[in-house]
Structure 1
Amino acid sequence: MTTISAILMERMKEEHKASVSELLQQGFCSKFQLGTGLNNSQLQWLLERLLVLVEQRGGSERIVALQGGSVVGSLSLQFQVRSGDPRPSQTAVDLLPLWKGIQEVGWAKALGFSVRLAFLSHRPVRGELYC
């Protein structure tokens, strides 16, 4: 008889970011790597930085599914931003780690990633959900 441990859902913490970016890399590598020259670790690094930037921007909450202490899934809840609500602005200091990393990955590869990311952009309509 096989026993399966429960799956727990909680807000993403700092220690989950690497695992979540690895899941995203595995799920979307064919969309981001084709033609960009990014290897798996470079793509995972860019996705992890993207998670940090989205978190800093606000308007969403990332939830992780944990089974036996390991991240087995992730979802992002997007919240409607009301006009007039202040949005946190990013400073050059906030973006410095990203710029340093882009120099290591390469500007052309990072640009290819950014273009592909822009084409994947999707704004769900009210009540829209993907499982």
Structure 2
Amino acid sequence: MMKSSFTIEPMQAKYNRQVSQLLVHAFSGKFSPLTRMGEGDLALLFEELLDAFPGEQSSQRVVAIHEETVIGTLCLKWKPGAGDDTTAPLPSARLSEMRELARFGRWKVFKLLTALHVLSHEPQDGECYIADLSVHPLHRGKGTGKLLLQWAHAYAVCQPQWTFLSLHVSGNNAGAKRLYEQVSFHTQEEQHRLLLYVLVREWQWEYMILPLEPTEHRAGEESL
């Protein structure tokens, strides 16, 4: 099958709308039943969340761009370092934007934020965590997801403090698991999470890791 040609760039605010639509394509099956929101409203809500919270210092989101269109996105997270400012208050403009979320319905927003919080993972020492990976439906099966994962691996091996990449995948998502195995992830632990079943009807999860070998770190540093 023909592969997409694209570039991988750091996330910018101008991509928020397209990224929010990608996230809905990937996760509406979890969040639409929970919030009882259509995909259009859910995408608008994600866009406002991206506007209000552009990212933490201990994270990096990238986008795959094909012909000026975002066709994929991936977000990495890691444990905050001693120099990271994780306690700074939100500017008043951000608080104002958060108040605007009430127009979607306070209970719907609360349920979505609760689910996002429960789904979140706090990386440990040495861990670089893939928080999400989304590819546009028209570009799936063309190598976009695999190349984003390979970018994440190349990025991680340049950071000597990290010893492994990690992610979670639903036990019901066999296609995603095969993709991760193609780039050498393996299941470290099978988890059963009652709260996530209550929220998004997903009971079984697999925690997968990809160890980063010391020789890879040296090669990554030499390539810089």
* TM-score, normalised relative to structure 2: 0.51
For the residue of structure 2 that corresponds to 1:35, the secondary structure is helix
Unaligned runs of 5+ in 2: 128-163, 168-179, 181-224
2:57 touches 2:80 (CA, 8 Å); kept in 1? no
Bigger proportion of residues as strand: 2
Q: Whole-Å Cα distance in 1 between the matches of residues 84 and 13 of structure 2? A: 26
Q: Which has the higher contact order (CA 8 A, sep 6+)?
A: 1
Partner of 2:49: 50
Q: Whole-Å Cα distance in 2 between the matches of residues 58 and 46 of structure 1? A: 23
CA change 1:39–1:63 in 2 (3 A) is same
Partner of 2:94: 94
Q: Whole-Å Cα distance in 2 between the matches of residues 5 and 95 of structure 1? A: 39
For the residue of structure 1 that corresponds to 2:117, the secondary structure is helix
Q: Which structure: larger Rg? A: 2
Unaligned runs of 5+ in 1: none
RMSD: 2.3
Moved more, 90-99 or 8-17: 90-99
Residue 75 of structure 1 and its aligned partner are, at CA, apart by 0.8
1:54 touches 1:60 (CA, 8 Å); kept in 2? no
Partner of 2:165: 128
* TM-score, normalised relative to structure 1: 0.82
For the residue of structure 1 that corresponds to 2:34, the secondary structure is coil
CA change 1:58–1:89 in 2 (3 A) is farther
1:5 touches 1:68 (CA, 8 Å); kept in 2? no
Q: Whole-Å Cα distance in 2 between the matches of residues 5 and 39 of structure 1? A: 29
Opposite residue 8 of structure 1, the aligned amino acid is T
